[in-house]
Amino acid sequence: MTRFQQELSGRLGMFWKKSAEKLIQKTKEDIATGKITIDEQIAGLVQRDATISKCKAENKELTDKIASLQATIRSQEDLIRQLRAKPSVVQGRWS
């Protein structure tokens, strides 16, 4: 992993992450205004930005799935508590 990738991933702290994100944004703006032209290095930065966006989207999707599973678990725990609270014929015979 390159230094820039480490900065962008946040491994080196929020200061460096924000700095890397600002560099990407400035590069995009410079490309859009024609201030600079795309070469292999800049294309790499744009590709990394796309990868980060994809990872953020995947992270959001996984976070939503986790929240859904947690809600299901809570619901199942509630159901189990309700079933345990009700006397049943089986409980009466075996108790």
CB atoms within 10 A of CB 49: 17
* 93 in any annotated domain: no
pLDDT along the chain (95 residues), means of 10: 88 92 90 78 79 90 95 94 76 53
If one counts the domains in the chain, the total is 1
**Residue 30 pLDDT:** 85
Two tokens, residue 66: 């986790």
Angle between helices 40-85 and 14-33 (to 10 degrees): 130
Chain mean position to CA 40? 28
**Residue 94 pLDDT:** 52
**Structural domain range at position 53:** 3-88
Long-range contacts of residues 21-25, Cβ cutoff 8 Å, at least 24 apart: 24/48, 24/49
* 94 in any annotated domain: no
**Residue 47 pLDDT:** 85
